[in-house]
Amino acid sequence: MARLASGSVVLNTDEDNAILGTVVCKYTQKILNEEEIIKEIEENERLESSKNNEVEEEFEEDETKDKYQDEYGIGDESSTKTTKKKIEYKKIENDSNLTGLPLTVDFRQSSSALGRIPMNYFRRDMYNSDQDVAFSRVIDRSIRPTVPENFPFKTQIVVNPSHEQLKHSSLDLVLAGTAIGKKGKGNNDYVIMVEMEGKEVEADKFVQCIQQGFDEIRITQGAIERLAKAVGHEKYKTSSTEFSPDLNEKVSVCEGAIEAILKEHSHNKSSRGEAIENIFQGWRLLMDRQPQTYSEPILRAAFAKITKKVHRNILLSTGFRIDGRKSDQFRPIKCKVDLYRKLHGSALFQRGQSQVLSTVTFDSPQAAFHPDAIAQLLGAQRKKSFMLHYEFPQFATNEIDGAYAGSNRREIGHGLLAEKALRHVIPEDFPYTIRLACQVLESNGSTSMASVCAGSMALFDSGVPLLANHVAGLALGLITEKSEDEGSNELKNEKGSDSHKNRFPNKYLLLTDLAGFEDFSGDMDFKIAGTSRGFTAMQMDLKICGIPLKVFREALKRGQSGIEHVLALMRAEIPEPRPEMKNSVPIIELMQLPAYKRPILFRSGAYNAKLIEAETGVKVSSEDDANIQLFAPNPESLNKAKLMIEKLMLEQQDEQYQFGAFYKAEIIRILEGGIHVSLKDGGRHIWIRNSDLSAAPGRKNAHSLGFEVGQKLTVQYFGRDQHTGQHRLTRKTLQMLDPPVQNLFSITEKHSLNEKSPNDKIQQETKG
């Protein structure tokens, strides 16, 4: 199973669900000269010959082993079968890896897991859905904090599940963590990643869910530890992240200048960045004159590290931030709604130098997002009548980086997070499809939560009656004392439960309303959104290997108070939804139309309905058995469409017939299942099934009864079908009638009561 991968494992969660995880590590081979290549080959041959017996004995039961993979594992509930092979890699330092961990997580849901074939042109799984991207980011945030930053191999993790996610619950929580110690104590439970969506979940109930989640984490963690013990593969060796003592000493001369800039509270994002860049450029010119030279990526990495160190020391020692705020203070917040009257709804939310413009667009129910059948079965996507699209243009950070190529993973992830925060406060019976577009005009941290605030106000401005009185969001940060000074890997590489007990520093600082530079230097980005009644969405991203539950609870409490602060400012701008929608909002109106009249609009490929839309701009759709829906851009178009519909109904109005009366019908067409007849010349065709043609036993059809096109029949009328609205005619009742009945064949003809009975007439017609 995935034997060419660097590592793989199959986890069977139950009889029907399985997950395949694979890891691929790319490495850089050292460049060798001819003599070194020969020596390398000879050394490898010697090592292989000395280990052949051992390897063959270890894998004697595994005839399908592959020599090219590093390791793989297959596990199930009943047994564990493992194979392993160790390869030593020689590598060189890659300057591009100094800026962060080269890790990519790719979550894909396979249609073959459902036994289905994708219905695209190539009939193969082509691309990741937005939900796949969101899951990939969740897994990435769970794994990244546990891997050393100096891990030198480019790594890709592919997860291929077949199970369907839960759709209907008041809380959808994904929790990643490490549980150390006895169940219920919680003293050594560390939260690594949180992704949450909920219906205004109270803080106390949410903490209970977290604690219950750690009870389950202990079970899973135990299984993982047993699996790791069974495969017994040695971890990759990593070098220290520390730069050479010479480089550390030379970069330390910049500390004073950096500290002076960071303590100057009058700087904004742009001026501070320019000042720090000037310091770097001056130091780089100085380093170019030194005998030992370094590449610019290495110089930038060393300079970034000393900048982070200075910033963290300022925060921990003074408690004040680079813009002069205390740890629990917000940047200035400005709110404005109804910016453009032509729009259905609009709002601008600015927090410091983060600014988001949100616009609301209403459309017909047919404009809702409809995923394909396979995506629905996989649970990856579902029908959505509310969509939030997050846009982060390059000008938001004053950058130019090529042409715009559509939404990237970050934009998709931020948009889905903001959508989760607002989704459950939209009324389910709201008649319109809503698209909320949030465009970042200026970015200095937490633009996704600014999108939540702007989106909530824009929905109020459009007149959507939200189930809550506004939704607000903010981001929290964290600075710890030792994670940067003594190396961030200290919290990641410890072994054994005893070393985990006191691994989190005693001195730390929580930051409310995280700014961009603080996110750069800090250990946590914790986004929280909610209402005055509870939380609706969360996302936590850590750079250290977990935070204790105590610190997590403290962050939740800080987030709760921060949400209340932002909500008060939003209510001051727009306290409640607009009582009436704007004149520019389209009109939705239901029009009563019996089921039997629907074909007038929707037959022949809905020709008449499309004709009305082409001439008036009004979309006509079937709402239920008794109504059709008209979606009009304005009242004038609506009235014009209604007049066209009424005219069509009058032109094609059916003749009214008396229930139980007898009529003369002419056969127009004969088919296998029955016949089409007309009760008057040029009248509407009415269908009569074979079962209504004769009361005689056995299966009969028009041909066996001797009917021909153009023949006259006597039929009885029984009104309209309650489901289809079609006329109902039959001949069976006539064959069972003995007494004479009144003849209603023609209004102009005079008939006496002494005429022959309908049975006699039927016999004559049959004989004829």
Tens-place pLDDT, residues 602-631: 888 889 999 999 999 999 988 777 789 999
Per-residue pLDDT band for 77 (boundaries 50, 70, 90) equals very low
The number of domains in the chain is 4
Judge whether 555 lies within some domain: no
Same domain, yes or no: 641 and 692: no
For the chain, give the mean pLDDT. 76
Scanning 319-446, the segments in alpha helix (DSSP H) are: 373-378, 409-423
| pLDDT of 26 | 46
Tell whether the model's pLDDT for residue 394 goes beyond 60. Answer: yes
How many Cα atoms within 13 Å fall on the side-chain side of residue 736? 10
Task: Answer yes or no: do 151 and 254 share one domain.
Answer: no
The answer to whether position 435 is within a domain reads no
Cβ proximity of 307 and 276 under 8 Å:
yes
Which amino acid is residue 117, in one-letter code?
I
Residue 676 CA to residue 662 CA, distance in Å, equals 17
DSSP 656: P
Quick one: pLDDT band at residue 402, thresholds 50, 70, 90? low
Per-residue pLDDT, averaged over 489-501, amounts to 41
Distance, first Cα to last Cα, the chain: 78
* Residue 154 belongs to some domain of the structure: yes
**Residue 265's CATH number:** 1.10.10
User: 26 and 131, same structural domain?
Assistant: yes
Does residue 400 register a pLDDT over 80?
no
Q: Which domain holds residue 636?
A: 587-651
Higher pLDDT, 136 or 70: 136
Q: Is residue 174 part of a domain?
A: no
Give mean pLDDT, residues 245-264: 93
What whole-number distance in Å separates Cα of residue 261 and Cα of residue 37?
A: 52
CA dist., res. 541 & res. 193, Å (int): 6
Q: Please give the average per-residue pLDDT across 509-514, as a whole number.
A: 96
Please provide the DSSP assignment of 538-588 as one string.
Answer: EEEEESSS-EEHHHHHHHHHHHHHHHHHHHHHHHHH--S--SS--TTS-EE
Residue pair 735/695 in contact (Cβ under 8 Å)? The answer is: yes
Residue 424: pLDDT over 80: yes
The confidence score (pLDDT) of residue 116 equals 52
Question: What is the model's pLDDT at position 55?
Answer: 34
Range among 17-26, 100-109, 368-377 with highest mean pLDDT value: 368-377
Segment 672-680 shows an average pLDDT of: 85
Residue with the bigger pLDDT between 126 and 441: it is: 441
Q: What CATH number does the domain containing 689 carry?
A: 2.40.50.140
Percent of the chain with pLDDT over 90: 38
Q: Are residues 721 and 757 in the same domain?
A: yes
Torsion sign across C-alpha atoms 487, 489, 493, 496: positive
Please name the residues in contact with 464: beta carbons below 8 A apart, sequence gap of 6 or more: 345, 360, 426, 427, 430, 434, 577
Residue 212 within any structural domain of the chain? no
Tell me the C-alpha distance between 587 and 583, whole Å: 9
Average pLDDT over residues 338-358: 94
Rounded CA gap, 485 and 477, in Å?
18
Is the confidence at residue 147, as pLDDT, over 80? no
The H or E element spanning position 765 is helix 758-767
pLDDT computed for residue 187 by the predictor: 54
Integer Cα distance of 636 and 587 in angstroms: 10
Please give the average per-residue pLDDT across 221-243, as a whole number: 76
Q: What is the pLDDT of residue 655?
A: 67
User: Residue-wise over 71-108: b if at least 16 C-beta within 10 A, else e?
Assistant: bbbbbeeeeeebbbbeeeeeeeeeeebbeebbbebbbb
Mean pLDDT within 704-710: 84
Alpha-helix runs per DSSP H in 263-408: 269-288, 296-318, 373-378
Q: Which residue in 160, 172, 155, 208 sits closest to 26, CA to CA?
A: 155
Is 50 exceeded by the pLDDT of residue 238? yes
Q: Are 647 and 705 part of one and the same domain?
A: no
Q: What is the pLDDT of residue 702?
A: 80
Q: How confident is the model at residue 7 (pLDDT cuts 50, 70, 90)?
A: low
One domain, residues 71 and 160: yes
Which residue stretches of 424-489 are H helix? 447-462
State the CB neighbour count (10 A cutoff) for residue 488: 20
CATH code: domain of residue 605: 3.30.1370.10
Categorize the per-residue pLDDT at 570 as very low, low, confident or very high, splitting at 50, 70 and 90.
very high
pLDDT at 68: 37
Identify whether residues 120 and 64 lie together within a single domain: yes
Asked if residue 221 and residue 128 are part of one domain, the reply reads: yes
Residue 98 or residue 518, greater confidence? 518
pLDDT tier, 524 (very low <50, low <70, confident <90, very high otherwise): very high
pLDDT at 347 over 90: yes
Considering just the CA atoms, what is the radius of gyration of the chain in Å? 37
Please indicate, yes or no, whether residues 121 and 157 belong to a single structural domain of this protein: yes
- pLDDT tens for residues 23-56? 544 443 343 444 454 454 455 445 444 444 333 3
What's the CA gap between 305 and 284, in Å, rounded?
15
Count how many residues are written for the chain.
768
One domain, residues 647 and 721: no
Question: Based on the domain organization, do 708 and 623 belong to the same domain?
Answer: no
- The pLDDT of 152-179, averaged and rounded, is 62
